[in-house]
Amino acid sequence: MSMIDGLIVAAYLVATLLIALGLRRKAAQSVDSYYLGNKKMPWYLLCLSDASGMFDISGTMWLTTLLFVYGLKSIWLPWLWPVFNQIFLMAFLALWLRRSNVRSGAEWIEFRFGGGAGARASHLSVVLFALICVIGFLVYAFVGIGKFVELFVPWEMVAPYVGIDIPRAMVPNVYAVIVTSLVTLYVVLGGMPGIVWTDVLQFSIMAVASVFIAVLAMMLVTPEQLAAATPDGWMSPFFGWHLGLDWQNILPPVQQKIAADGFGLFGPLFMMMIFSGILKSAAGPAPSYDMQRILATRTPRDAARLTGFVSVVLMPIRYLMIAGFTVLALVYVDRLDLVSPSGVDFESILPAAIRAFAPAGMLGLIVTGLLAAFMATFASSLNAAPLYVVNDVYRRYINPQAEQKTLVRMSYGVSTGIVLLSMGIGLFVSSINDALQWIVSGLWGGYTVANVIKWYWWRFNGQGYFAGMLAGIVCSLSFPYLFGPHFPHLGSLLPLYLFPLIIAVSGVGAVAATLLTPPTDMAVLKRFYAQVRPWGFWGPVQRALAAENPAITPNRDFGRDLFNIITGTVLQTALVAVPVFLVVKNWGALALSLAVVGLGGAILWRTWYRRLADWPDGVTGPANLADTPPAATAHDLPAKGAVSHA
């Protein structure tokens, strides 16, 4: 980087620290302020913050690699995550989650299952999963940032100043340790308010950089040049049983990459993505920063708007950058340095393209934006983790009378410890894709069954939840080692194909434990159902409530929610396609994609946005958790027309 690029990066780092220092006192007022901004932040700021957290550097590098290798067919591969979980949240789950009025996923367990032995075991299992989940995300970010920084600051430039010579393979890890240490400092100081305002700054930078790169690619690359640099089928999003891309005569290492990824049989992969994606999405958000943003909104309606508009904000901006750099990399691939000690590293396409094509000044802005993207993701994940230790373990079981200042100071120490653990694990992970597949296929596989059933079946109890979570986590952590030697050809896709087996084992454990133990106390179930009002198998609870209060009516929105999910997923996929078709100058496909976006938006305006309601029929809102006993019934909740202190 030039001097001006370095100054831009340095200015951003100073700005983040100043924001954190400026908001330190506000964040340290209480646990709610430090982790949730006192639930007073506008939904649109939280939406930008959520989008910024999703605009992570590891994910952007991965998506750039996918578009380079798989072309327009790559617009389906984010369903591995699955990206359409935001659509499920938009349609109904964000409303249900925010209506609970809790601070964390573990606290939600008490709200759903009460305070018995099974509920306590479930509570601790969620704490354990949340910590494993956050550490997984931190490792994922750790791997990406090391690869990114190495290309812009070669160790040969640094070694003379520090007097240390290290093997090249270790350089990314050294840089990752340095950057994550800086991020930890501003996270610990600023809490949720500092993170949100820093995220807004970061997303603004990324928007400018993305537009610039897209325009640059459109100016330097013609459709003819792109067609000559890609195989037949690269420009089409459609596929058959097989992928149907042959790079052998254009760029043979890419063909080897497809074989290593295991994406050659694209039809079966697509079906597995849909199967696993629907179940993971129906389970609701994992106990990480996505859930934290929803719980930090002012109202349930705001929570739905946050999750609905995050795709509208994120997808076009992110894919302008991805498409721009991919097009430049394809046509001018000979100018990229993708060589690594283990061969060609396609996960370095994004940073290599930035270094090759971004001019001075803009290079600094892009590097700053992507560095900030890493910081946003890392910071959001890191800020979510200590809440489960401090609020759900220390304050609940060890020191219920702890002062707010003590809890905030304890959060500082827990954050530091989690970062050190994540660094240690990250040193042994070499691939972004490996980390990603373990998170989305293995780890979420363990989380899925118990968290699907908890929303939709009244009989499901704390013992069943604990058994399902325990079985799922054990399976997700052990199955790759048990089955990996027998299916070496699956590579990083092994967790995805093990997903049905994990689901089966954890599902049997969850249902069996539920049926062998007493149901949750009816008073707890009535309070949950009256306040949240999910659809599903809640007949006995609904009838008991209706006998007490006829205003408590069942949720009959399943059909409309399903329609909105399908419409929203189509719209979200079109939002991914629009910037790609724009950059590659496929005007016909662009017009069609824009028409889909317009039509989908008009439909959702009528079937989703205009029908959003904070609270279900018969209830105006919950009482504060501290004021409402766990065993409160529908009679204890404020009815419509009554005065509520919600």
pLDDT of 636 reads 40
pLDDT of 537 reads 95
For 395-416, how does the pLDDT look when each residue is reduced to its tens digit (9 = 90+)? 888 888 888 788 888 888 888 8
pLDDT of 523 reads 94
pLDDT of 90 reads 96
Residue with tokens 């790559």: 74
For residue 281, the tally of other CB atoms under 10 A from its CB is: 25
Q: Report phi then psi at 343, rounded to 5.
A: 120, -150
DSSP structure string for 284-310: ---TTHHHHHHHTSSSHHHHHHHHHHH
Residue 294 in this model has a pLDDT that exceeds 70: yes
The token pair that represents 184 in the structure block? 């930890």
Between 371 and 601, the higher pLDDT residue? 601
% of the chain surpassing 90 pLDDT? 30
| pLDDT band, residue 442 (cuts 50/70/90) | low
Rounded distance between C-alpha atoms, residue 390 and residue 406, angstroms = 10
Rounded distance between C-alpha atoms, residue 300 and residue 366, angstroms = 35
pLDDT of 314 reads 93
Residue 141 near residue 130, CB atoms below 8 Å: no
Residue 645 in this model has a pLDDT that exceeds 50: no
Average of per-residue pLDDT across 581-608: 96
| pLDDT band, residue 445 (cuts 50/70/90) | low
| pLDDT band, residue 435 (cuts 50/70/90) | low
| pLDDT band, residue 627 (cuts 50/70/90) | very low
Between 620 and 391, the higher pLDDT residue? 391
How far apart, in Å, are the Cα atoms of 382 and each of 5, 185, 252, 440, 499?
28, 11, 40, 18, 27
| pLDDT band, residue 560 (cuts 50/70/90) | very high
- What single-letter amino acid sits at 110? E
Residue 461 in this model has a pLDDT that exceeds 80: yes
Residue 44 in this model has a pLDDT that exceeds 80: yes
The helix/strand/coil state of 457 is strand
- pLDDT averaged over every residue in the chain: 82
Beta bridge partners of 358: none
**What's the number of CA atoms in the CB half-sphere (13 Å) around residue 403?**
5
Residue 410 near residue 394, CB atoms below 8 Å: yes
Residue 631 in this model has a pLDDT that exceeds 70: no
The helix/strand/coil state of 344 is strand
Rounded distance between C-alpha atoms, residue 82 and residue 66, angstroms = 15
How far apart, in Å, are the Cα atoms of 98 and each of 48, 92, 533, 542, 607?
18, 10, 12, 20, 20
Mean pLDDT is highest, among 142-146, 359-363, 530-534, 626-630, for 530-534
pTM over 0.85: no
Average of per-residue pLDDT across 478-498: 76
Between 191 and 342, the higher pLDDT residue? 191
The token pair that represents 611 in the structure block? 């029908």
Residue 265 in this model has a pLDDT that exceeds 70: yes
Instruction: Choose the weakest-confidence range: 351-360, 396-405, 543-552, 615-624.
Output: 615-624
- 3-state SS record for 200-253: HHHHHHHHHHHHHHHHHHHHHCCHHHHHHHCCCCCCCCCCCCCCCCCCCCCCHH
pLDDT of 344 reads 66
| pLDDT band, residue 194 (cuts 50/70/90) | confident
| pLDDT band, residue 583 (cuts 50/70/90) | very high
Residue 629 in this model has a pLDDT that exceeds 70: no
Residue 620 near residue 598, CB atoms below 8 Å: no
| pLDDT band, residue 209 (cuts 50/70/90) | confident
Residue 632 in this model has a pLDDT that exceeds 70: no
Mean pLDDT is highest, among 48-62, 149-163, 376-390, 587-601, for 587-601
Mean pLDDT is highest, among 76-80, 211-215, 556-560, for 556-560
Residue 639 in this model has a pLDDT that exceeds 80: no
Between 259 and 635, the higher pLDDT residue? 259
